[in-house]
Amino acid sequence: PDHLDDQEMGIFKKLAGELKPTRLEVKDVSGGCGSMYAIEIASERFVGLSLVRQHRLVHDILAKEVKAWHGVQLRTSVA
């Protein structure tokens, strides 16, 4: 997506590559400093997983990035 900055695009590509989502939105909600992101993702990979396991899967994929953030708003759903 053209509207994403470099950091948002990095997150987008990493999640898209791992989870093959049917819907994915990534937005820096920290005012542009890159310390908090809102992520909405729908993926077939979440089928059969509890909400906690869905979130853990996303956090595991973004483990390196999350360490530098103050927070993340995460919404997951089954495609």
Whether the predicted model's global pTM rises above the 0.85 cut:
yes
Burial string for 15-46 (b: 16+ CB within 10 Å, else e) reads beeebebeebebbbeeeeebeebebebbbebb
Domain of 62? Answer: 6-78
Domain with residue 28: its CATH number is 3.30.300.90
Structural domain includes residue 12:
yes
Structural domain includes residue 1:
no
Structural domain includes residue 10:
yes
Q: How confident is the model at residue 32, as a pLDDT? A: 81
pLDDT per position as a tens digit, 13-66: 999 999 999 999 999 999 888 999 999 999 999 999 999 999 999 999 999 999
Structural domain includes residue 26:
yes
Q: How confident is the model at residue 11, as a pLDDT? A: 97
